[in-house]
Structure 1
């Protein structure tokens, strides 16, 4: 797997690149080759090479002209092979404006995942492993903020949202709030086994692979938007 890591914090960029290569056997079933670069211009050169990288980790604040979602917009405009992008950022879920930037990255540019530089290192490396395994990954604290900023529609409009039955929709909204299976079972007064069964039906109907992708689809529906189109999985 060929990876491009883009970050203007050169020490961090090189350190993370070396970590990936050192622990490649623990993180991925295939060998990993990481190229660290420190500017958007250099990143665009690398992504246009033949063959292009398989995955890009992109910092959102690279210089005075490329900050926030603008960085991602400029990168995607020069990404003809549509190489998947993971946002690796110092933005925080405690800031409303920064949460909206992260939401825009997911909604408008369908990024593969989000890694928070300021979060717990253990969580970041768990996310890194999941992403390298092909999953879409968003930290739980970001998902919770996405859920809080959406408004649930009335019960009469809920019944067949996204093609889900009323019970499936209830479970889906709990997933979108970041609740665990045990918490969902307690809230809906059902067994954890029932929650697992319904969750599998939801994943199948929404054509998603996991809780994160399901949460994004439900949050997009609650917010009235189309959300990122991840396609069948």
Structure 2
């Protein structure tokens, strides 16, 4: 029996969330996944709803994420998920087929990138590959992506994964230009705690100061916004 056969994929066990703001597309994805995953599949129509579900569903193993859904910040949303829930596999399902965007998404920790133009049978195979512990990309784009020069974002992304969820939130505030006192108020902690987080962030990201950390993060946000614009 081969991994791509329907019978094989029906035996896969994993709890999943489909995060997409289009009800008809969610329904199609859910129908396809129900033939692959023998468990309940949750749905989220916005990034905020996705985060809320993850807070109340501690056993989720897989998220299918649309980069352009409401509340998402493109690739920054992906890194936010990777920071908060490093054990959850994130599969990007997007209408954007730009190879540079796909390369960035994989660099930021996606387990697979599935264009919405792909047949649902390909999605089933991709999910099976990811749950088996491997990454997946569209076969017709593999050679092109592999021939691209190394993405400088990959080094930053790997360092970003070292941040704790709280440190990641502090970094978001730094990028917004907030002072330590303002961040402490936003996160309801002591200012001394924020100072400790900032020091840890600078060390882990290997940057000189909070301004540089914020600029690098803003550049990532900018890439995410460009991704959203191209995904419409």
TM-score tier, shorter chain, comes to 0.5 to 0.7
**In structure 1, what is the Cα distance between the partners aligned to 2:85 and 2:154?**
26
**In structure 1, what is the Cα distance between the partners aligned to 2:66 and 2:44?**
11
Q: Which residue of 2 aligns with 1:160?
A: none
- The yes-or-no answer on 1:90 pairing with 2:80 is no
**In structure 2, what is the Cα distance between the partners aligned to 1:225 and 1:70?**
13
Gaps of 5+ in 1: 93-97, 151-219
1:22-67: CA deviation from partner (whole Å, max 9, x where unpaired): x1xxx35xx322101110000001112252411111011113x535
**In structure 2, what is the Cα distance between the partners aligned to 1:56 and 1:50?**
12
Pick aligned residue for 1:56 from 63, 66, 74: 63
- CA, structure 1 residues 136+19, in 2 after alignment: closer, same or farther (shift >3 Å)? same
The answer to whether the Cα contact below 8 Å between 1:4 and 1:34 also exists between their aligned partners in 2 is yes
Q: Which residue of 2 aligns with 1:101?
A: 101
Pick aligned residue for 2:28 from 15, 22, 31: 15
- CA, structure 1 residues 227+18, in 2 after alignment: closer, same or farther (shift >3 Å)? same
1:99-150: CA deviation from partner (whole Å, max 9, x where unpaired): 222211111x211111111124443332233223332111123322212323
Moved over 4 A (4+): 222-229
**In structure 2, what is the Cα distance between the partners aligned to 1:225 and 1:3?**
26
**In structure 1, what is the Cα distance between the partners aligned to 2:145 and 2:152?**
10
**In structure 1, what is the Cα distance between the partners aligned to 2:46 and 2:153?**
36
Task: Calculate the TM-score normalised by the size of structure 1.
Answer: 0.53
Provide the secondary structure at the position in 1 that maps to 2:21: coil
Gaps of 5+ in 2: 1-13, 159-232
Q: Which residue of 1 aligns with 2:112?
A: 113
- The yes-or-no answer on 1:139 pairing with 2:138 is yes
Q: Which residue of 1 aligns with 2:79?
A: 73
**In structure 1, what is the Cα distance between the partners aligned to 2:57 and 2:41?**
16
The answer to whether the Cα contact below 8 Å between 1:115 and 1:128 also exists between their aligned partners in 2 is no
The answer to whether the Cα contact below 8 Å between 1:5 and 1:17 also exists between their aligned partners in 2 is yes
**In structure 1, what is the Cα distance between the partners aligned to 2:76 and 2:157?**
18
**In structure 1, what is the Cα distance between the partners aligned to 2:104 and 2:33?**
27
How far is the alpha carbon of 1:89 from its aligned partner? 1.0
CA RMSD in angstroms, aligned pairs only:
2.9
How far is the alpha carbon of 1:15 from its aligned partner? 2.4
> Aligned pair count?
145
Provide the secondary structure at the position in 2 that maps to 1:48: helix
**In structure 1, what is the Cα distance between the partners aligned to 2:54 and 2:94?**
20
Task: Calculate the TM-score normalised by the size of structure 2.
Answer: 0.53
